[in-house]
Amino acid sequence: MKYPKFNIDDISMFLQQLSEFKKSLVAFSAGLLSVLAFAPIYIFPIYMMSLPILLLLSMNSGTVKDAFKFGYIFGLGHFFAGLYWIGNSFAVEPDIPNWAGFIMVALLASYLALFIGIVCGAAKYIHRNHTLKTHLINIILSFVTLWSIAEWLRGHLFTGFPWNLSGYIWGFSDIMLQSTAVWGIHGLSLITLIICFIPLVMLKKKYVITAPIFGVIILCGLIYYGYSRLDVEVENIEGVNLRIVQPNIKQQDKWSYENWGKNLVNYMDESEDDGSEGVTHVIWPETAVIYSLSEEPFRRQLIAQILDEGEALITGYPRRQKSSSGTKIFNSMIAINDKGETIGGYDKSHLVPFGEYIPNFIRNILVPLGVGEIFTGGQDYSEGDGLKTIKIDGLPPFSLVICYEIIFPGEVVNRINRPDWILNITNDAWYGESSGPYQHLLQSQVRAIEEGLPVVRSAGTGISAIIGPYGRIIDEIPLNSRGVINGKLPMKLASDTIYSNFREWIFICINVMFIILNVTLVMRNKWLSR
């Protein structure tokens, strides 16, 4: 077999000489390895190798169906390796075998891989009469545009799951993330995809000089913009002193009835520590209190004993709402004052499919089989009324997002009544020592940059943090550690970010420009070939 030199034609020939099994193995391996570009490892050059390999496999395939197949196989490896941590959430349930979680990850990966399969199949169909030798730039533009649109669709269809978008490979650098203030994470993902294919373009002799120059210009632009934004000091809001509590309670020890009281005492002890002097607001994470505090004034008053006059506490809890038609359960937040009175609340509105509820069309299949309780514990949570800006005495108005809600770009604040900061309460104890909590934290940082708002994050375990409006972590408690953060609340930016005003419109415009450019280049090549 002839081994490839460093040019596209020889690499393409080498791949074509491989058996179908070996091609599939290459696609799956590239998908698996591509995940190393994301948090917490950040070997981002691997992403710049994996995607070109996928493009070469797809475009050198014989049919559209084959191109789809290689994309789908790549996606299986990419999403299974990237989302393996979800399987850990099943391992904490004593009645569920550990392997069941990874079957669910495989099923999720099987669905998400469709997006990559469709990208590869569509690119092959669009360029079925073109070759990499004659239309390399056109093919790359089509692939990049299709991939970025697929990522956007993945974040919206069937309630959406925008995890590990391409732009997150820059999470190791606050500087490289700053452009999300202009075009959001989807815009940065689009630019990232262009950068990923520059090494491939360089293998074509015609572009060996211009391609790296183009790449350097893009990178220098991102770096310059990032440096210029970060060359400022963020001030804090006077009179607001937060105490964020991370108890590091294992998921196995959280929901057992015999532990409810003990866990509540742990929270109260951490909150009442000597270091809490001067604290104005105490923050506990998602479902920190298992009791339905809205119905139990006695326990609210018990908790209020740790608060000095004028202090308030914000915590997550499961809220029950009884009616003649039955009882609904909400994943909720409650704020109480030093008298135990309720002064604020919120019900989670963007629920996790299969984690907090079973979609109706699936329920009709799972429940008769007796496996519905594997996902929700027997009863679905109900949706809240949507995002709202919450006002509590002594605090600037804030947006409360619970756990999963923070991962959705453009959907973390009420646009009509914008808040001054974002509070994210979560519980990442489900996922153990894995990449999941690190990737979750990164998405909180990017939401801060996009909106120009500080984010305060309280986690049951890992990773609690105070994040400034430029996405920089000011203070944090590491994963699987017990502790508190006593910190100030940073101010929001003086003016709204471009992204907060225009959302995805800039991303859409760039895609439209790429489509117009692509069509123009194809027409030009046709005209020149006459």
What's the confidence (pLDDT) of residue 453?
A: 98
Q: Of residues 69, 348, 388, 488, which has the active-site annotation?
A: 348
Nearest-angstrom CA–CA distance, 528 and 522: 10
What's the confidence (pLDDT) of residue 276?
A: 58
Task: Look up residue 389 and give its two tokens.
Answer: 């800006």
Residue with tokens 């329920």: 363
To the query of whether residue 348 is one of the catalytic residues in this protein, the response is yes
What's the confidence (pLDDT) of residue 342?
A: 97
Query: Can you tell me whether residue 486 is helix, strand or coil?
Result: strand
Contact 48, 130 (CB under 8 A): no
To the query of whether residue 403 is one of the catalytic residues in this protein, the response is yes
Positions in the chain short of pLDDT 70: 1-6, 92-95, 273-277, 360-361, 363-378, 528-530
Q: Of residues 403, 405, 450, 492, which has the active-site annotation?
A: 403
What's the confidence (pLDDT) of residue 82?
A: 97
Task: Look up residue 147 and give its two tokens.
Answer: 């991939």
- Residues contacting residue 528 through CB under 8 Å, at least 6 positions apart: none
Contact 52, 196 (CB under 8 A): yes
To the query of whether residue 206 is one of the catalytic residues in this protein, the response is no
Contact 407, 294 (CB under 8 A): no
Beta strands in 284-443 (DSSP E): 312-323, 326-337, 342-347, 389-390, 398-402, 421-426
What's the confidence (pLDDT) of residue 208?
A: 92
Find out whether the peptide bond into 212 is cis, omega within 30 degrees of 0. Answer: no
Nearest residue to 254 (alpha-carbon basis) of 429, 89, 87: 429
- If phi > 0 it is left, if psi is from -120 to 50 it is alpha, else beta; for residue 447 that is alpha
**Buried/exposed 259-275: b ≥16 CB within 10 Å, e otherwise:** beeebbebbbebbbeee
For the chain, the distance separating the N- and C-terminal CA atoms, rounded to the nearest angstrom, is 38
CATH architecture group of domain 236-349+384-491: 4-Layer Sandwich (3.60)
Is the alpha carbon torsion for 505, 508, 512, 517 positive or negative?
Answer: positive
Where in the chain are the domains? 8-230+503-529, 236-349+384-491, 351-383
Q: Of residues 151, 270, 286, 411, which has the active-site annotation?
A: 286
Q: In what order do the strands lie in the sheet with 389-390?
A: 389-390, 398-402, 421-426, 455-459, 464-467, 473-477
